[in-house]
Amino acid sequence: MNTLLTSAAVAANDFSLDKNTVTPGVMGFLVIFAIGVVLYFLMRSLTGKLRALPKEGDGSPEAGGTARASDDGAAGVAASAAPDGAGEPRA
């Protein structure tokens, strides 16, 4: 084991990199490609989950649109029936 480390150190001293010719190579390409593939499937999953969410003004009972409209309507009727004018909207 010691001779392996010693020979690696000696070989490292003899070896020099040319800064103009060092490239990421095939391994760098594969890493970037894998990141792109993962992002594609992640965005596809996110889009599917966002489409499954209820819309804001859908009006369907699951979305809460009908319940929200009936609550607002009841509050408006109660506010307009107040004798002191507290339910009138301000401009």
Q: Which residue has the higher pLDDT, 61 or 36?
A: 36
Q: What is the greatest pairwise CA distance in the chain?
A: 98
How distant, in Å, are the alpha carbons of 1, 28, 30, 46, 78 from that of 33?
Answer: 37, 9, 5, 20, 62
- Which two tokens mark 46? 């996110």
| Per-residue pLDDT at 22 | 74
**CA 79, CA 88: separation in Å to the nearest integer?**
7
pLDDT in tens, 58-89: 666 555 555 555 555 555 555 555 556 555 56
**CA 85, CA 82: separation in Å to the nearest integer?**
6
- Asked if pLDDT for residue 51 goes beyond 80, the answer is yes
